[in-house]
Amino acid sequence: MKTQYAILITALLFALTSCIDTSVNAGDENGNGNGNGDPNGELTLVVNFNDYRGTEATLPDGMFVTWDEDRTDNPFTGVGNLNTSDPTESYGGFTAFTAGNDDYSFGIREREPVDLRDSRLFLEFTNNTDQLIFEFAISYDVEAWFIGDRRNRIRLKYDNDLEASGSFDEDIFSTDNPSSETTPGSKVNGSLAANRVTVSGTIDVSELEREGQTLGPVSPGATVYFRWQFSNADGDGGDLRSGLAINNISITPIID
């Protein structure tokens, strides 16, 4: 009789565990190598910079930067505080812009106070579903924190290979400095609506091209990269660059 009870209990436990979903979606903490995914298992990947403090060590998981290392060994300058930072000593390079509250953004200002050039911010995304991904719904904020002679802009690009010739060729979005302030040398509050803009849209990444060849969809298990790039705006001139920032990133693969 005890043996029969043991067999019955084992069968019930097996049936119970078989009903529990242990799969990992692309937005889970373990789904894409980025701990900022939705804890409820949604596919949306959400990234903010509230723990970022202008150091490489405090970048969100799944994010990394590149720059012209011949110009500077360390482009990170710590926190760029609107109220206290001197733009000649901080408030530039790769910085964490803030108005002194708990909201921080990933800031970029080239040439000052360090000789930062060719600055790039990457976010990697791994398809941990069992389906091909053709499209992504993308949203993020572009903020202005410092006004230079050059307005500058932020361009978003995409590729599935970091090293391929001609990679990251096409712009997904290109966003000019959103502030109406035009006085060079001015610090502005990028957390205010007057100095920020939300960029959003749906993009079919399978149709993007590299050297005339389409990239195709994202296969199950494959890792792809989104890249934000600090660039000159059309007609820019002068030496002093503006300080722009990226914040509140949301990327959702569209799964049929």
**Dist. CA 212–CA 110, nearest whole Å:** 31
All domains in the chain, ordered by first residue:
24-254 (2.60.120.200)
- Please tell me the distance from the alpha carbon of residue 82 to that of residue 96, in angstroms, as a whole number: 10
Tens digits of per-residue pLDDT, 234-249?
A: 888 889 999 999 999 9
CB 110 within 8 A of CB 231: no
Query: What confidence score (pLDDT) does residue 23 get?
Result: 27
Structure tokens at 1: 């009789």
List, in sequence order, every beta strand (DSSP E) within 8-58.
45-47
- The pair of structure tokens assigned to 82 is 């609107």
**DSSP 8-state assignment for residue 116:** -
Beta-carbon neighbour count of residue 101 at 10 Å? 9
Write the Ramachandran bin of 232: left for phi over 0, alpha for psi from -120 to 50, otherwise beta. Answer: beta
Q: What proportion of the chain, given as a percentage, has pLDDT over 70?
A: 84
pTM score, whole prediction: 0.83
Instruction: Assess whether pLDDT exceeds 50 at residue 118.
Output: yes
From 117, 126, 122, 140, select the one nearest 245 (Cα to Cα). 140
pLDDT tens figures, 13-68: 333 333 333 223 333 333 333 433 333 345 889 999 999 999 999 999 999 999 99
